Amino acid sequence: MPKGGKYPEEALEVLETSRAGNFRASPLGGGPVYTFTPRDREKYGFRTVTKEETRPVWRKGRFSMDFMGEKSVEGWTTGDLWNGWATPFFEKAAGEEALRELEASYAEMNQKYVWSYDPKGDAFVLRDPNWDEPERITGEWTETPEGRKKLYGIGAYSWTWTED
């Protein structure tokens, strides 16, 4: 990470190094790949991220996808990215709200997107017409600044969420 950089927003993931001291890296969570030289190491003051910095710290945010228009849903994030996109986790009611928005968007395109909540398995079950098998998203107890919350990673590492 560059000297003075903030984790995870400015962190880089080193992909490979050479004997000459060059290294290739991309932004943590995905993005373009850059090549750096030993001179760049000096110029940017790169340093290794500490274990303490990588400890997840959850914070609230509002998240949306293109199909939602001006609407957004309250969720939680650690700031992690997936291919440059936000990775929100939702409390049950907010997850239901996000899925209702998705269902309505599919209906506008004359397609059917079906989801349900399985209380026995504590999981959202998503049935996209383009998938062979349904996806199950189970709740996970998570420590947040507001105490323990059960959060569901609805599309956290596969959908194109944006943090508002």
pLDDT tens track for 16-59: 999 999 999 999 878 899 999 999 989 999 999 988 888 888 99
Distance CA 29, CA 13 (A): 8
For the cut 80, the answer to whether the pLDDT of residue 129 exceeds it is no
Residue 136: pLDDT over 90: yes
- Asked whether 134 and 113 are in contact (CB, 8 A), the reply is no
> What is the pLDDT averaged over residues 123-148?
91
pTM comes to 0.72
The pLDDT value given to residue 131: 80
Phi first, then psi, for residue 4 (nearest 5°) are 80, 0
| Per-residue model confidence (pLDDT) at position 162 | 94
pLDDT for 78:
92
Q: Which of 22-31, 78-87, 127-136, 138-147 has the highest mean pLDDT?
A: 138-147
Domain boundaries defined on the chain: 12-54, 59-163
Structure tokens at 162: 């944006």
Give the residue with greater pLDDT, 70 vs 123. 123
Mean pLDDT of 137-161: 94
Alpha-carbon span 64 to 142, nearest angstrom: 22
Question: What sign for the dihedral angle of Cα 73, 75, 79, 80?
Answer: negative
pLDDT digits (tens, 9 = 90+) for 51-106: 888 888 899 999 999 888 888 999 999 988 888 899 999 999 999 999 998 888 87
**Per-residue pLDDT at 67:** 80
User: Would you say 116 and 128 are in contact if contact means Cβ atoms under 8 Å apart?
Assistant: no
